[in-house]
């Protein structure tokens, strides 16, 4: 049996899928199987997949009889996977040649159940835009910071599959549930390239009002998986991620209870509380500049005087103080 299973869900992926599969087949770690799940494509994706399969016995193709969407395709591929370690990638992204070698090494030499890495962001011409530095697991309540470059033990999926009702946010939901039971480890190496282009799911959600509304609904479901948090804390977390919903009155009403929940979350995972406090204060400072009137600025400064100077630039602090006089 192969040591690693790579699941590649695809729907009408002809534009980039050859580059994606080539990056997989060029891995320095060769003991893997590639399970391509064709989600009822109507372009040339199926013929491209078949041409690769004919030349490499490690490739398996599953063709859905109707379009089932990403999370269902992920579950289909994972359920037939034979590998000790599992990962999945998109038909428009690229694995660096040492992706498997480095991530397998971490899982083989540590007690971690999930390993994840930093990655490049590229454009539709495969040109480098920036390096995306992923977040500590402690910040999962505030953002989906695990990213696109990861490998996990088969037992992780055996306990938690992908929620097929949460298309577009299924990965965040998966990581939140996994983080309550399994150990994560991060490597700062850049092992993957994530592509931004006009037809990507990320772009679609950002531009489509109905998709945005559905995303908001699904985000609330994801945050409800933090079962150790009170409902009011979950609502506050939603507002942190969806800034258009930010409500200072709500924040002042439930901030103490929420901050207590955050500390319990840190303790339960033995995380570094200073990282969470830094992120939390940074978010509040941003809201002070962009979404606060004079009274709200004064009220928060009275409750938390250190926020004006806590590890941040003088310019940012000055912008906050300006709000008092506007």
**Which pLDDT belongs to residue 312?**
63
- Place 307 in a pLDDT band, splitting at 50, 70 and 90: confident
**Which pLDDT belongs to residue 311?**
64
Write down the H helix ranges in 88-243. Answer: 99-108, 154-159, 170-179, 201-207, 209-223, 231-241
pLDDT digits (tens, 9 = 90+) for 52-63: 999 999 999 999
CA distance 323 to 291: 10
Average pLDDT over residues 250-257: 98
3-class secondary-structure state, position 174: helix
Q: With 90 as the cut, is the pLDDT of residue 308 above it?
A: no
Q: Of the given ranges (10-19, 119-128, 205-214), which has the lowest mean pLDDT?
A: 205-214
What is the third-level CATH fold of 4-205?
Spore Coat Polysaccharide Biosynthesis Protein SpsA; Chain A (3.90.550)
pLDDT digits (tens, 9 = 90+) for 17-27: 999 999 999 99
CA distance 191 to 134: 12
197 to each of 129, 151, 207, 220, how far by Cα in Å? 12, 25, 12, 27
Q: With 70 as the cut, is the pLDDT of residue 82 above it?
A: yes
Nearest residue to 36 (alpha-carbon basis) of 60, 12, 16: 60
Residue 18: phi and psi, rounded to 5, are -65, -40
47 to each of 7, 89, 94, 97, 120, how far by Cα in Å? 18, 19, 20, 25, 29
Which of 273 and 206 is assigned the larger pLDDT?
273
Apex CA 4: angle with CA 50 and CA 46, to 5°?
15
Q: What is the pTM assigned to this prediction?
A: 0.94
Tokens describing residue 58: 């490690």
Please list, residue by residue across 72-94, b when 16 or more beta carbons sit within 10 angstroms of its beta carbon and e when fewer do.
bbbbbbbeebebbbbbbbbbbbb
Evaluate whether 8 touches 24 at the Cβ level (below 8 Å). Answer: yes
**Which pLDDT belongs to residue 205?**
62
The fraction of the chain above a pLDDT of 70, given in percent, is 96
- Place 321 in a pLDDT band, splitting at 50, 70 and 90: confident
Average pLDDT over residues 142-165: 97
Could you give the dihedral angle defined by the CA atoms of residues 164, 167, 170 and 171, in that order, rounded to the nearest 10 degrees? 140
**Segments of the chain assigned to CATH 3.90.550.10:** 4-205
Average pLDDT over residues 254-265: 97
Question: What 8-state DSSP symbol labels residue 61?
Answer: E
Q: Are strands 128-132 and 150-153 parallel, antiparallel or unpaired?
A: unpaired
pLDDT digits (tens, 9 = 90+) for 187-220: 999 999 999 988 766 666 666 888 889 999 999 9
**Average pLDDT in the chain:** 94
Beta bridge partners of 95: 192
Average pLDDT over residues 79-99: 98
């Amino acid at each position: 049996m192969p040591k690693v299973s790579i699941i590649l869900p695809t729907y009408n992926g002809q534009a980039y899928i050859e580059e994606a599969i080539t990056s997989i087949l060029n891995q320095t770690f060769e003991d893997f199987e590639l399970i391509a799940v064709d989600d009822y494509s109507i372009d040339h994706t199926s013929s491209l997949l078949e041409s690769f399969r004919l030349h490499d016995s490690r490739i398996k193709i599953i063709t859905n009889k109707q379009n089932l969407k990403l999370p269902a395709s992920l579950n289909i591929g994972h359920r037939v996977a034979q590998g000790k370690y599992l990962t999945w990638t998109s038909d428009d992204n690229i694995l660096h040649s040492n992706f498997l070698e480095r991530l397998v090494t971490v899982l083989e030499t540590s007690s971690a159940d999930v390993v994840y890495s930093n990655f490049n962001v590229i454009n539709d011409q495969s040109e480098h835009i920036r390096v995306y530095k992923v977040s500590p697991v402690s910040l999962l309540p505030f953002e989906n910071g695990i990213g696109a470059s990861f490998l996990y033990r088969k037992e992780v999926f055996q306990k938690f599959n992908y929620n097929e009702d949460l298309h577009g946010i299924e990965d965040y939901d998966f990581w939140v549930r996994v983080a309550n039971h399994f150990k994560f480890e991060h490597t700062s190496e850049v092992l993957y390239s994530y592509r931004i282009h006009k037809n990507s799911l990320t772009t679609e959600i950002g531009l489509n009002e109905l998709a945005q509304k559905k995303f908001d609904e699904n985000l609330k479901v994801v945050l409800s998986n933090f079962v150790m948090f009170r409902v009011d804390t979950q609502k506050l977390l939603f507002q942190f991620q969806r800034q258009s919903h930010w409500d200072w009155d709500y924040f002042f009403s439930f901030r103490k209870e929420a901050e207590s929940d955050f500390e319990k979350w840190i303790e339960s995972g033995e995380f570094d509380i200073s990282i969470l406090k830094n992120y939390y204060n940074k978010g509040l400072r941003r809201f002070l500049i962009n979404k606060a009137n004079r009274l709200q600025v004064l009220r928060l400064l009275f409750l938390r005087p250190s926020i004006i100077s806590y590890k941040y630039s003088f310019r940012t602090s000055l912008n906050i103080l300006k709000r008092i006089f506007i």
